[in-house]
Structure 1
Amino acid sequence: MKYILLLFFVFVSLFGYSQKKVLQTKFTSDNITIDGKLNESIWQATPEATDFIMFQPDNGKPIPENRKTIVKVLYDNDAIYIGALLYDDEPDKIRKEITQRDSFGASDVFGVFINGFNDGQQDFQFFVNAADGQGDCITTDTNGEDYSWDAIWKSKAIITDFGWVVEMRIPYAALRFSGEKKQTWGLNFFRDIKRDRHKYTWNFIDSKIETFTQQTGVLQGIENIKPPTRLFLLPYSSFYLNANKYQKTLGTLKGGLDIKYGINDAFTLDAILIPDFGQTKFDNQILNLGPFEQQFNENRPFFTEGTDLFSKGDLVYSRRIGGRPSRGPKTADNEIIIENPSNVELINALKVSGRTKDGLGIGILNAVTKKTNATVENSVTKETRTEEVEPLTNYNVLVLDQRFRKNSAISFINTNVTRNGDFRDANVSAIVWDLNTKKNTYNLSGDIKYSYVNDVTDKKGLYSTLNLGETSGKYRYNVGADLVTKDFDNNDLGINFRTNYYSTYGGASYRILNPTTLFTSFRVSSNMFSQFHKETGKLQGNSFSVFVNMENKKNHSYGFDLNASPFESYDYYEARTENRFLITPRSLGGYFYISTNYNNKFALDINSSVTKLSEFARNSFEIGIGPRYRFNDKFSMNINFNYFRQNNDKGFIDKIDTDTNPSTPPSIIFANRNTVTYSNTLYGKYSLNSRMNFNMEVRQYWSYAENKNFLYLKDDGRLADYQNYTANKNSSFSSWNLDLSYSWWFAPGSEISILYRNSAANFDEIINKDFNKNVTNLLNNDALNHTFSISVKYFIDYNSIKSKF
């Protein structure tokens, strides 16, 4: 008998799960109360979605009877309703940590994935956890999950004696679908049983195939509904108090308005008027000793939400908008700069994005920044003058993304920066392709980018990539190549560090798709990379690495990496001088990590790396330790300690003229130095309920570079002793950031947030190696800034107002 059951299971796995499941929904005219009880009579006569199948870790295994899951769907003229019965034979063990929106922690989760066009391109995903918290995101196969997107919908989760129940009301304004009389939607349901770390879906998601959105089931039965007017207003008001030793307490009141408008059933207009980003997360600044600028994460909501189209081609670095001025003020003799703004003020911004039923995605982003001046003072006469460092500037992005066969796309992207007056303008265009075979087994991707900069002299450049890979099964591989010309420059609205090279790379990997006796997951991969200077053919970079990661039956994760650069390479960037290079040595290194099961009250992350270079006593090592503890379902904390050290590192510090003869090049001075970095962070959260949260984040950072002796760069790329350099070029940078915040979602889409922040930063050429004194001095720094702010935003739905009147 057991063999018959086994054969039946194999048959279902091979044939049954490959078919799309179909669920019929029913229209209701009843008033459905979202209370998690499903006690309206219409629920009893509604078809059921059952027979969930494991997605991870044992892909394809049916859900056990004691965890069976039943989901039903209803609809009316305004919304779709989801009712889910989530059985659990041990309801007292259901995980239900309370967290803020879009963060589920150690909690069971139920989700529904909806694609109103049933085109396999984009899912609108809505989640409810067992602590009654909400989360939502937009998901595409290309860009994954975008949790910065927030919709307005209702839900309720309650624990019962047989498990738990979820009831949801998702208004049509939160979805996208056509105006056809009969609707066919893509649909899937998701369940995460956290204590087992088992994830299930209603329609089978085959992990051998590198796609998620194309493996949904189908929802039928919705008829005669109309896409609503999607007009949302989000007025806000904020009050700020700022103070430090040099500035009296100043109060600032701000107000503004965000608008979302559905142009039609596919396209949405987002606009911000009088932006306010005062409560945006702080940047993690570092001591940057390298030749390239530090790249920061984008934390401003407008520039993070719904930006999957604008990420095509990797041409947009939105921190350019409202970032540093493009010029610095020029000073004459006896003049000093007394005010030079670090950021340009954003006047307004808008974006239009969406996708037609034929698969054409269109994205338009436009932003305008304010004219910005610096102030210069004559140190003798004390007269001041202003100098324009950034004019009125317009930033624009256009994206056309045509998808076909549900899994492939060709895109055109154009970015343009137009500055008023004699400041530089820039334009970049690109064609990007992402092509997959019908069964999603092979992928061919790449791009061709063309840049044009109108400055003192015109500059034109090209950037192109091509990648081919197998994307399904246990064994996968990829090979690719890049070509970048010397004059490629997309840095007015994008970010790019290296140019004038060509490179080749390849990789292969093996993974298990179902658990073994030892592991729930296991993967080993290897990668090779080489880069060459385009004009000379010299090797700019090379690496070979093997990485292994695994998770055992107790859900503890482990991994290690072995990497090597087996050949010397030519670094054309560290010298900060055109056509000069530094020869970098061979290296051998390794990395490992341990991450224990986050379901446990106490969990621990440990990671460490070490690298040995082929120069005497030149090496580096790093260790990070991150304990975390969940006191109860409301309160948790985690700390991360990180220490990094480089011994006998070689880095650029100066360039000096050695001869008055213009034909004699300057000397490029390097330092043989030791660098040490301490970085410590503390996170804490206390949740009164799923809509009211206290959060704390503290970051202490200190990094210094102590020069041991000085060197100069020879023409052959080697370094030699330089005895005549006497300047102090040591570097010590320390920073402190503390955020204490309270947020209350007092109504759907409406929030009150209170933030106290203090911060300080200090750069010095004198190094004090006493860690305690360094931190104490920073906190006693006269420039320690204190900010207290209150922000209130209120969500207004045009449809709600219309229904009342």
Structure 2
Amino acid sequence: MHNNFIFCVLLLFFSKILFGQATLPIKNVKKNIKAEKKTSIISIDGQLDEDDWSKALPAKNFFTFSPDNGNPETKELRTEVKILYDDDAVYIGALLYDNEPTKILKEIKERDNFGTSDSFGVFINGYNDGQQDFQFYVTAANGQADCNFTSQDGEDYSWNAIWSSKAKITDIGWVVEMKIPYAALRFPRKDIQTWGINFFREIRRTRQKYTWSPVYNNTGAFSQQAGILTGIQNIKPPTRLFLIPYTSAYINSNKEATETTLKGGLDIKYGINDAFTLDAILIPDFGQTKFDNVELNLGPFEQQFNENRPFFTEGTDLFNKGNLLYTRRIGAKPLFYPELHDDETIEKYPTTTNLLNAVKVSGRNNDGLGIGFLNAITEETSVTIKNNSDGTTRSEVASPLTNYNVTVFDQRFNQNSSVTFINTNVTRNGDFRDANVTGLVFDLNTKKNTYNLSGKANLSNTFDTKNTNGIESSLSIGETSGKYRYGIGGEYVSKDFDKNDLGIIFQNNYYSYFCNASYRILAPTKKFNSFNIGLYTYMEYNNNTNEIQQNNFSLDVNTTSKGNHYFGFGYRIKPFERYDYYEPRKDGEFLILPKLQSYWLSFSSNYNYKLALDFQVSNLFYDQKDRSDLDITISPRYRFNDKFSLIYSINPYIQKNNIGFVDYLSNSGETIIAQRDRNTINNSLTSKFSINSQMNFNLSVRHYWSIAENNAFFALQDNGRLVEKLDYTENKDSNFSTWNLDLSYSWWFAPGSQATVLYRNNAAIYSNDIDRNFKNNFDTLFTDNLNHAFSISIRYFIDYNQAKNWVKKG
């Protein structure tokens, strides 16, 4: 262990010598622009022909953000932006000059997807604290995108606001006109407003990105380098009350039955004050969320899925602090499996629990204090247990009435640092297990954003037949600016730390440390627009035995060519045997894993071309006879025109002589490990056809097939080694296949209001019998297994301020 620590220190030391410490100076340029109050009606039509626009002074003289960072814009591609305001909104008018307007790229995509298109954005920080921007983008195809940006968490495009815009191609380039209501922003109650602001432009055909206030890439603090907006006076934060009623209809059909369901409900968003917002789901409906990419999981840990439910993705940056929240726990498969008596079976075990309601409050005040509160309740879920001998049945609770709660206090200071307190709690009705996790997280940066110190300390408490307490802690420090960067840190997780009731953790009872050193170019060279090379090392040890659980030493290179093609490669080595305490699935046992070496290659061609290709391959070679892994992904994409595109992906994954758990013999106490060949192929197709930026057809198809064929069986010894077990003859082969198809049409028929029509079919099969014929497997998958679903959903967005005017007019 000590030798490896010395290696980390030497790695950092020599990286300083080899790389040096010269960095570009950080230039604290604060540009200013003044907003003028409008006196007449502004029509959002992309014309900028109203008299008010001629009275406002423009923001101009943009700087390149990438690839040639810090250089001034050229006259042929200059940008000018003006700002107006009234009592209800701020107005943005932008002239984006282009000496070749016929070459402006303008692919039509759905909301929050830029596609292959030029774009213009405005970033507004109403508190001018350098930490949180509300970003609004318009594409040359008249599409919209918006996101909530924080200096700690980056961009969150799940956040959506209601605003209007119009883009128009002209003979001098293109024009953008925007109206952003104050309800989409956050700012203090002051007579005179001073906001942070920046403007962004991307010219897609050359991948040139510009900002009005220069953002230098020798520091990672993008939001701290914004300009200043003045001139806005005597405005008040509006009443932010939004009602989103919805209605939906579902028809589900399979070989057994056809079921029709009608639903209706209401979502509410209410601005408690100028900083804090209440979101509530009174009657949840997540029937049209994206399907999960389920895989054949033979490992000791659960498969983690993405969150696709809008309520749990929108504006959740506060709740993700400390990595204690995995929202898929809410409404997931019941956690408790009832105890069965002799000759009893459960007729059907549910895959979800119903969400009764959910509410969240989040925001940040003028002093930089962010407060978040999330609460959700799932209903009691029971299963029917049948006695196969006499035919009687009984009911047992698999998941009780459960309350999930998250509370967060996040204090920002110095424009770039924060300290966070977070608590998650799960309370279940009756004698079922309860759980609580409390965390303290800090992220500290020097004033010039050159160094970072971050860490966390989380304490878990579970209340069951046996109460347990555990701790998770980490600390890291690093240089975060300039060409040459480094970091070093460590982590400790106790044996009894458990956050799985509302978070997700795959392993505990270990301590680890890491270090890294990297070099990057800050300006393009003759061959590269970007170039990054890094050295990384990671060591992990079991708390009880101090044996190595994980070790990794790697070299990674990532580049972008002058033609905007990406190429990357890397080499990894795990030079020490690893003690796996998780694969045996039994406390106190471990499986010794062999040393290995691997490489990866990745290529992605410039998406500006109609035909583009993504390619990635990784190959692992184990210090074990004839054992290897080969993982290949090939994904061509073709853009037929600005409306229609296709993306296909094929991913074969071949594992020879893989080693893993298959059984536990209760009579002898032996753990059975199999040597197996695993072959997986994953095919997917996505396509979109856009009538315009408000009307889109989307297709998503996935077929996944994975088999695991056991070649030999071994008994696991106390020393972690294997001895062949010839008398074990159980069929533990696996053959799993799944199919999903989603075809949808969405229409944003009014601001914030959407109608969606969805057709979905899916199927899945699992067996212990293997047939390697692809056609036979495909046919079997569809025979008697296919489920069909057709649904229509309409959501209508009602703004209280608009509704108030409707009433007045009525």
Same fold (TM over 0.5): yes
- 2:641 matched to which residue of 1? 632
Find out whether 1:409 has 2:411 as its counterpart.
no
Structure 2 counterpart of 1:792, from 783, 791, 794: 794
Q: CA RMSD in A?
A: 0.9
**2:631, 2:653 within 8 Å by CA — same for their partners in 1?**
yes
CA distance in 1 between counterparts of 2:778 and 2:33 reads 61
Residue of structure 1 in register with 2:21 after alignment = none
| 2:638/2:645 contact within 8 Å kept | yes
Partners of 1:258 and 1:270 within 8 A in 2: yes
CA distance in 2 between counterparts of 1:211 and 1:395 reads 35
Matching residue within 258, 262, 266 for 1:257: 266
Instruction: Describe how 1:364-763 pairs up with structure 2 within 5 A.
Output: 364-659=373-668, 666-763=669-766
Question: d(CA) in 2 for partners of 1:494 and 1:257?
Answer: 28
**Does structure 2 retain, via aligned residues, the 8 Å contact 1:326–1:390?**
yes
3-state secondary structure, aligned to 2:224: coil
Kept in 2: contact 1:414–1:428 (CA 8 A):
yes
1:752 aligned partner, one-letter code: A
Structure 1 partner of 2:5: none
What amino acid maps onto 1:415 in structure 2? T
Secondary structure at 2:319's aligned position in 1?
helix
For residues 344 and 473 of structure 2, what CA distance do their matches in structure 1 show?
46
User: Distance in 2 between the 1:616 and 1:650 partners?
Assistant: 12
Cα distance in 2, alignment partners of residues 213 and 308 from structure 1: 16
Alignment of 1:223-372 (within 5 A): 223-247=233-257, 249-372=258-381
2:28 corresponds to 1:25: no
Q: Distance in 1 between matches of 2:510 and 2:277?
A: 40
- SS of the residue corresponding to residue 313 of structure 1 reads helix
Shift of 1:252: 0.5
Aligned ranges for residues 55-70 of structure 1 at < 5 Å?
A: 55-70=65-80
Alpha-carbon separation, structure 2, partners of 1:569 and 1:335:
41
**One-letter identity of the residue aligned with 1:181:** D
| Separation in 2, partners of 1:539, 1:793 | 54
Cα deviation for residue 18 of structure 1 reads 2.7
Query: Which secondary structure state, in structure 2, belongs to the residue aligned with residue 275 of structure 1?
Result: coil
- Please say if residues 246 and 783 of structure 1, whose CA atoms lie closer than 8 Å, have aligned partners that are also in contact: no
Which among 143, 160, 163 is matched to residue 150 of structure 1?
A: 160
Q: 1:530 touches 1:543 (CA, 8 Å); kept in 2? A: yes
Q: Name the counterpart of 1:783.
A: 785
Structure 1 residue 353: deviation in Å? 0.3
- How far apart, in 1, do the equivalents of 2:561 and 2:38 lie? 47
- What amino acid maps onto 1:52 in structure 2? F
Q: CA deviation at 1:547?
A: 0.4
Which 4+ runs in 1 deviate beyond 6 A?
Answer: none
Alignment-derived partner of residue 205 in structure 1:
215
Distance (whole Å) between structure 2 residues aligned to residue 67 and residue 585 of structure 1: 57
| Counterpart-to-counterpart distance in 2, 1:217 and 1:477 | 30
Q: Which residue type is aligned with residue 146 of structure 1? A: D
How much has 1:776 moved relative to structure 2? Answer: 2.1
Superposition pairs for residues 96-107 of structure 1, below 5 Å? Answer: 96-107=106-117
Say whether 1:88 aligns with 2:98.
Answer: yes
SS at match of 1:395: strand
Task: Measure the CA separation in 2 of the matches of 1:538 and 1:773.
Answer: 46
Match 2:87 to one of 48, 73, 77 = 77
1:246 Cα offset (Å): 1.2
Deviations 1:291-336 (A, max 9, x none): 0000100000000000000010000000000011120122212222
- Partners of 1:480 and 1:736 in 2: how far apart? 43
**8 A Cα contact 2:39 2:52, kept in partner:** no
Q: Are residue 769 (structure 1) and residue 772 (structure 2) matched?
A: yes
Look up the match of 1:221: 231
- Distance between the aligned counterparts of 2:306 and 2:734, measured in 1? 25
**Aligned twin of 2:135:** 125
Return 768-777 or 172-181, whichever deviates more: 768-777
Measure the CA separation in 2 of the matches of 1:232 and 1:548: 48
Alignment of 1:173-192 (within 5 A): 173-192=183-202
| CA distance in 1: counterparts of 2:279 and 2:374, whole angstroms | 9
Equivalence for 2:120:
110
- Indicate if the aligned counterparts of 2:29 and 2:225 stay in contact, CA closer than 8 A: no
The aligned amino acid for 2:590 is F
1-structure distance, mates of 2:150, 2:535: 27
Q: Cα offset for 1:779? A: 2.0
Give 1:495 deviation, angstroms. Answer: 0.4
Q: Secondary structure at the match of 1:324?
A: coil
Indicate conservation of the 8 Å contact 1:151/1:174, yes or no. yes
Flag structure 2 segments of 5+ consecutive residues without an equivalent: 1-23
Q: Which has the larger displacement, 333-342 or 35-44?
A: 333-342
- Matched positions, count: 784
CA distance in structure 1 between the aligned counterparts of 2:25 and 2:575, rounded to whole angstroms: 46
Separation in structure 2 between the aligned mates of residue 130 and residue 779 of structure 1, nearest angstrom: 43
Residue identity (%): 57
Q: Secondary structure at the match of 2:801?
A: helix
Deviation at 1:270, TM superposition (A): 0.3
Deviation at 1:14, TM superposition (A): 6.4
Distance 1:390 1:327 in 2: 6
TM-score w.r.t. length of structure 2: 0.96
Q: Secondary structure at the residue paired with 1:173?
A: helix
Deviation of 1:799 after TM superposition, in Å, equals: 0.2
CA deviation digits over 1:755-802, x for unaligned, max 9?
Answer: 00000111110011011221222122x121100000000000000011
How far does residue 149 in structure 1 lie from its aligned partner after superposition? 0.7
Alpha-carbon offset, residue 211 of structure 1: 1.4
Query: How many angstroms apart in 2 are the aligned matches of 1:551 and 1:408?
Result: 31
CA distance in 2, matches of 1:657, 1:578: 14
Would you say 1:169 and 2:184 are equivalent positions?
A: no
Matched AA of 2:763: A
Q: Quote how far apart the aligned CAs of 1:29 are.
A: 2.4
Alpha-carbon distance in structure 2 between the residues aligned to 1:197 and 1:328: 54
Q: CA deviation at 1:380?
A: 2.5
The two structures have a TM-score, normalised by structure 1, of 0.97
Could you list the per-position Cα deviations for residues 212-242 of structure 1 after superposition, in whole angstroms to 9, with x for gaps in the alignment? 1111101000000000000000000000000
Query: Which ranges of structure 1 fall in alignment gaps of 5 or more residues?
Result: 1-12, 660-665
Shift in CA distance, 44/342, structure 1 to aligned 2, threshold 3 Å: same
Change in CA separation of 1:657 and 1:382 when aligned onto 2, cut-off 3 Å: closer
Supply the distance in 1 between the matched residues of 2:744 and 2:154 (Cα, whole angstroms): 29
Q: What residue number does 2:6 align with? A: none
Structure 1 position 279, deviation (Å): 0.2
Distance, in Å, in 1 between the alignment partners of 2:113 and 2:639 is 15
